[in-house]
Amino acid sequence: MADRDIFTTGRFCIREFTEDDREPFVACHLDPVFSSYHLKHERGRAHASAVFDAFLAWQAEKPRANFQFAVSSRDDPAGYIGNVGIRTRGLPPGEGELGIEFIPAWWQRGAASEVMRRFVTWAQDSLRIRAFVAETAPGNLAANRLAEAVGLRPTGQAGKRHWRS
């Protein structure tokens, strides 16, 4: 594993974001297929760049409450194919909000399941997270299946669908 790697799976490296990930991250968010699962205010270059800035800023927080990591292929550890994270700020101790996204070329290839299953274990072991929450976009059936696969149950819907472990 490289210095910035958090963990690996069979096919992927999960690592801290670097500035080199900005353009691939923004390009993913500008992809019409990808952005179709985001609310209108979550689309566009300015929004994606602001989200990316937050991910970089979280790395310097002490104590750190939010963790968003880049996902790359083990064949190209410096590349960018998605991200995974957990946010704990503002939540009760031991609770975290999960999030994951991949570029469309990696959809329906088991990537999200492989990464999320390992990530949940990492969050339990490293951060002592015992309860997980998540939101999924309306109509994103793959995200709903992923939430169920990692043990979350639907709890409601207000624009996005809400899940809890």
Tell whether the model's pLDDT for residue 1 goes beyond 60: no
pLDDT of 111-159, one tens digit each?
Answer: 999 999 999 999 999 999 999 988 887 778 888 888 888 888 888 766 5
pLDDT of residue 159: 59
Tell whether the model's pLDDT for residue 38 goes beyond 90: no
Tell whether the model's pLDDT for residue 2 goes beyond 60: no
Tell whether the model's pLDDT for residue 40 goes beyond 80: no
The b-or-e profile of 47-72 (16+ CB within 10 A means b, else e) is ebeeebeebeebeeeeeeebbbbbbb
Question: What's the rounded mean pLDDT across residues 11-19?
Answer: 97
CATH architecture, range 5-164: 3-Layer(aba) Sandwich (3.40)
Question: What's the rounded mean pLDDT across residues 23-37?
Answer: 86
Domain boundaries, the chain: 5-164
Q: What percent of the chain has pLDDT over 90?
A: 64
Instruction: Name the pTM for this structure.
Output: 0.89
pLDDT of 61-114, one tens digit each?
Answer: 999 999 999 999 999 999 999 999 999 999 999 999 999 999 999 999 999 999
- CA quadruple 110, 122, 71, 31: dihedral positive or negative? positive
pLDDT of residue 23: 96
Closest CA to 160 of 41, 48, 46: 41
